[in-house]
Structure 1
Amino acid sequence: MSGRLFIVRHGNTFASGEPPRRVGVKTDIPLVETGELQAIALGRWFAREKITFDRVYCSPLLRTRQTAAAILAHVPAPLPAVEPASFLAEIDHGPDENLTDDAIVVRIGQNALAAWDLHAEPPPGWTVDREIRIAAWTELLTKPIKGNVLLVTSNGAARFALLASDDLAAQVREHQTDMKLRTGAWGEIVQTANGLHVAAWNQRPPARI
C-alpha cells in the first residue's frame, strides 16, 4: 500500500497586469481574486478525483492558509485538523524582498538568480534554512506515509521536497528544467515499497472544472 504527498503552492497574490515580485516570509499578503479561484479549482479537482486527506500541513502565511481552506471546503467530512508547519513557510529574500526579478538581477546578476531557480542555491543575502528544510522533508519522506497528506506551501519552500531524496529532483528534471511550482499548482510524491516516485509536478487543474 502506498502513501501520497500532495504539495500545493498557494494561488495568485498579484492581480493581472501587476508586476510579480519576490515576496517571502516577511510579506504576509492575501490571495487576489484569481488566486482564490485557483484555490477553488484545486479543491474541485481533488473532489472530482475523490482524493481525501488523512493529514494536512500548512505554512503559517495567510496566502497558504486561504488556499488550504478553499481546498478543504470541497473535501467531504470528516476533515483533519490543519497542522501549522514552519518548514513550509516561504523563504526570506533579504534585501530583495518585494522586488521584481529585473531589479534583483541588477543586484546579484542573472546567474545567481538562475542558480536558485535551477538548483535551489540561495543568492547572497537570502535566508532559506536549507539544511533545516531538507531535514524536515527527509523525516517526512523516510517514515511510512499513511494515506494522503496535503501540504500547502510557497514556491521557494516547495522545492526542498525534491532535495530530500537523491533522485526526486532528477525525476522532475526529466520533464522540466527547474523545480518550480506555479501558483495554484501541485506536485505528488508517492511512497511505495520500492521507494519514492514523483507522480506529478507543477500541475494545475483543467481550465474548466
Structure 2
Amino acid sequence: MELDDIRNRVASAARQAGRDAGEITLIAVSKVQPDDRVVAVLDAGQRVFGENYVQEAQGKWPAWRDRYDGVALHMIGPLQSNKARAAVGLFDAIHTLDRMSLAKKLAAQITEQGRAPQLFVQVNTGDEPQKAGILADELPGFLAACRDLGLSPEGLMCIPPEGEDPVPHFRLLRRLAGENGLPLLSMGMSADFEAAIAEGATHIRVGSAIFGARDYG
C-alpha cells in the first residue's frame, strides 16, 4: 500500500542524509479523508495522524482511539483561539502556534486541564502577508513571551510559499531552530518531504501521498 512506499522513501531519504529514520516522525494527514481509508492506514500500523480542523477531529478520533492503542494526534491547521480548550484536550501536539492571543489561551488551558501538548511555533518563512506565522526576525521575542506565559515550545513549523523551491525555507527554519535552542522541525509534505528530511526535518506531514487525493465535495 501507499503507506509502505512512503515509509520506504522516508528510510531512503534518511540514509542519503546520514540520518536515522527512527528520528523522523511521519504524520499521516487524515483531514477530510473517508473513514475506510483512515482505518486501512490504522490497520497497517500507522499511529501518528494530523488533522486541520478541531471539530472534524472531535467527531472521529475518540472512537478510533478506543479501538487502536497508541494513537497520537497532531493539530496542523490554523487554530482559532476559541478552540484552544478543545485542542488542548484532544491533541498531543499543536504545530500552529502563530500569535500571542493563541499563546495566552493555550497557556490558560494547559494550566486548567493539566495537559500539555507538544508545541511548535509556525514561522512565516516567506514573509507572506496572507499567511499565518511569526516572522523570522520576531521569533526570539515571541518565544520569550511564550516562555513568560509558562509555555515550552519545542520546535518550529513552516509551509513554504506555493510554487517556490522549498529548500531555502527549510534551511531558514533549521537555522532559526538552532539559534533558539529548539530541537524539532515540522516541515515537508507529500511533494517535498524527502528534501525536508535532507535539511533536518524531525516531523513530516504527508497526506495525499498516503491516502490518495482528497474529495472536498
Q: Quick check: TM above 0.5? A: no
Interval containing the TM-score (normalised by the shorter chain): 0.3 to 0.5
Q: With the length of structure 2 as denominator, give the TM-score of the two structures.
A: 0.32
Instruction: Between the two structures, name the one with larger relative contact order (CA 8 Å, sep ≥ 6).
Output: 1
Normalising by structure 1, report the TM-score: 0.33
Name the structure with the higher helix share: 2
